[in-house]
């Protein structure tokens, strides 16, 4: 497929993303959120359970219920780790000479009409997906397994995504690299959806005593 054909296909898919696929994902997330509260802090729940166990709190649920709750917490942690691995892989694709300047440019976030997109748990993924398709067309490539080097300076997840978008907007990625990043971003969307569902399930199974103690932290 020629570059022009790929851009034409990308344009059609970009329209489809916002007219059909995007609203469908938005509906799924809104439905999940409507089914129960998901505003729980996984870290606070884990700390609350540990403290209640240490104090021998009689209001603790049964061992079977505790095992189920812990299993959900571990599952959510594993999803968060998958997200971090994908974002780290995306960041490793950004050419190292461009990173520092992109980070500096991105410390003050630029306004975007996708900022409040309900499909996502954070605002950067949809803007980055749109930027890549607009610049490079729609092409996905699964990378060969690779070691992801640690960044020299710890960079928050959202800042890495924002800086990657700055590099994409400036034309700093080759087509092959952009295809790898797009594949990772679309997988990131799927993991975010799974995490929304898992957090809702956890919130729904917490006894009121644990909810109250967690909220007070």
Confidence category of residue 151, pLDDT binned at 50, 70, 90: very low
Q: What is the pLDDT at residue 5?
A: 58
Tens-place pLDDT, residues 183-208: 999 999 899 889 888 988 888 888 88
Calculate what percentage of the chain has a pLDDT beyond 90.
36
Range of the domain at 112: 3-215
Range of lowest pLDDT (77-81, 147-151, 182-186)? 147-151
Q: What is the pLDDT at residue 205?
A: 87
Confidence category of residue 23, pLDDT binned at 50, 70, 90: low
Tokens 């309900």 found at? 118
Q: What is the pLDDT at residue 34?
A: 46
As a whole number, mean pLDDT of residues 27-49 equals 64
Q: CB-hemisphere CA count at 13 Å for 154?
A: 2
Q: What is the pLDDT at residue 37?
A: 44
Asked if 137 contacts 178 with a C-beta cutoff of 8 angstroms, the reply is no
As a whole number, mean pLDDT of residues 103-110 equals 80
Confidence category of residue 86, pLDDT binned at 50, 70, 90: very high
Look up residue 170 and give its two tokens. Answer: 């400036």
Mean pLDDT of the residues in the chain: 78
- In whole angstroms, how far apart are CA 144 and each of 105, 138, 180? 30, 19, 10
Q: What is the pLDDT at residue 148?
A: 52
Number of domains in the chain: 1
Q: What is the pLDDT at residue 141?
A: 87
């Amino acid at each position: 497929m020629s570059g022009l054909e790929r851009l034409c296909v990308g344009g059609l898919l970009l329209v489809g993303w916002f007219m059909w696929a995007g609203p469908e994902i938005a509906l799924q997330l809104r439905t999940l959120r409507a089914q129960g509260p998901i505003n729980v802090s996984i870290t606070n729940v884990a700390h609350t359970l540990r403290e209640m166990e240490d104090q021998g709190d009689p209001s603790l649920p049964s061992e079977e219920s505790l095992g189920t709750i812990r299993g959900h917490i571990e599952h959510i942690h594993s999803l968060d780790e998958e997200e971090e691995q994908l974002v780290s892989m995306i960041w490793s694709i950004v050419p190292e000479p461009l990173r520092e300047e992109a980070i500096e440019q991105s410390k003050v976030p630029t306004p975007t009409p996708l900022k409040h997109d309900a499909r996502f748990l954070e605002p950067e993924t949809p803007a980055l997906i749109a930027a890549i398709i607009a610049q490079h067309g729609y092409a996905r490539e699964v990378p060969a397994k690779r070691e992801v080097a640690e960044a020299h300076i710890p960079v928050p997840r959202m800042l890495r995504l924002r800086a990657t978008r700055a590099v994409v907007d400036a034309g700093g990625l080759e087509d092959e690299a952009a295809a790898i990043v797009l594949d990772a971003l679309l997988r990131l969307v799927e993991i975010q959806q799974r995490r929304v569902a898992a957090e809702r399930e956890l919130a729904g199974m917490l006894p009121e005593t644990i909810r109250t103690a967690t909220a007070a932290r």
